[in-house]
Structure 1
């Protein structure tokens, strides 16, 4: 088992696959955070849309909170993968 946040641990096919999956999730999360903030900013120009705009900002903030959570989950998942030679 590799140490968490260890940049030099072995890069196996399974590790690259897991890393790629989390990177896709991380990018999708960033996209939604930006989208919520953009939509909220546009809505803020209209008095009648202030409440939904505030909810957009809140949802965008939740997505920003998910960023480090996704990274920690990725590192934890990768750390649980067996290293080459561990099965011997």
Structure 2
């Protein structure tokens, strides 16, 4: 059961744009975190680069923490618009 489905948010044109913007931000943060972890891992092979590698891991960790934060912000927007029906369906697993 996917928690977030685009079909549930396509009531209005602005919703599709808003949803797409959040998905783009989510994917950008996800890729950034992965790249930072790869770079940090490579830097750990050299003693001279370990401090920089540690910073890459730390920044990548913040990116991973930002991912669920973006989803919560998006869902709160629907709560602000009184879209409780869709939120209840996601909680119950109904489509």
Q: TM-score range by the shorter chain?
A: 0.7 to 0.9
Equivalent position of 2:90 in the other structure = none
- Structure 1 stretch 71-80 or stretch 7-16: which is displaced more? 7-16
Higher helix share: 2
Is the 1:29–1:63 contact (alpha carbons within 8 Å) kept by the matching residues of 2? yes
How many angstroms apart in 2 are the aligned matches of 1:28 and 1:45?
A: 27
Deviation sequence 1:7-62 (CA, Å, 0-9, x none): 64662211111000000000000011001000000000001111010000000000
Kindly tell me the number of residue pairs found equivalent between the two proteins.
Answer: 79
Q: Which runs of 5 or more residues in structure 2 are unaligned?
A: 84-95
Q: How does 1:2-81 map to 2 (within 5 A)?
A: 8=8, 11-81=11-81
Give the TM-score normalised by the residue count of structure 1: 0.78
Per the TM alignment, residue 69 of structure 1 is displaced from its structure 2 partner at its CA by 0.3
Higher Cα Rg, which structure: 1
Counterpart secondary structure, 2:11: coil
Specify whether residues 45 and 6 from structure 1 end up closer, same or farther in structure 2 by C-alpha distance, changes over 3 A only.
closer
TM-score w.r.t. length of structure 2: 0.72
CA separation of 1:6 and 1:64: change in aligned 2, threshold 3 A: closer
Ranked by relative contact order (alpha carbons within 8 Å, sequence separation 6 or more), the top structure is 1
